[in-house]
Amino acid sequence: MPNIGPMELIVVLIIALLVLGPRKLPEVGRSVGRGIREFRQSLRSDTHDGEAVELEEELATAREIHTPPTANTEKVARTTASSSERGAAGAA
């Protein structure tokens, strides 16, 4: 990809001045500037939208993986703890 140096930029501006004239050049410059700004803003918003979608997907996956403890889960935990205590007492 070729680099645009100061000399190339001056040549482009001189050609634009000759083609468009001194009255039209500022108008065209403003419209080009607006177009570039809108393009950059749209790129930023697309990036943010993509990040938001990824975060929502990760959150949904985390919700599927995480299940809140239920009464049955607590009962199993107590049973396991008491059986391991009995096993430890029997081994001693």
pLDDT tens-digit profile of 45-72?
766 666 777 778 887 777 777 666 666 6
Cα of 36 vs its chain's centroid, Å: 21
Q: Alpha-carbon distance 91 to 85, whole Å?
A: 10
Distance CA 70, CA 85 (A): 23
Determine how many CB atoms are found less than 10 A away from the CB of residue 71. Answer: 7
* Res 7: pLDDT: 92
Q: Looking at residue 15, what is its pLDDT?
A: 92
Contact 25, 17 (CB under 8 A): yes
Residue 86, pLDDT > 80, answer: no
Q: Residue 89: is its pLDDT beyond 60?
A: no
Q: Mean per-residue pLDDT for 3-17?
A: 89
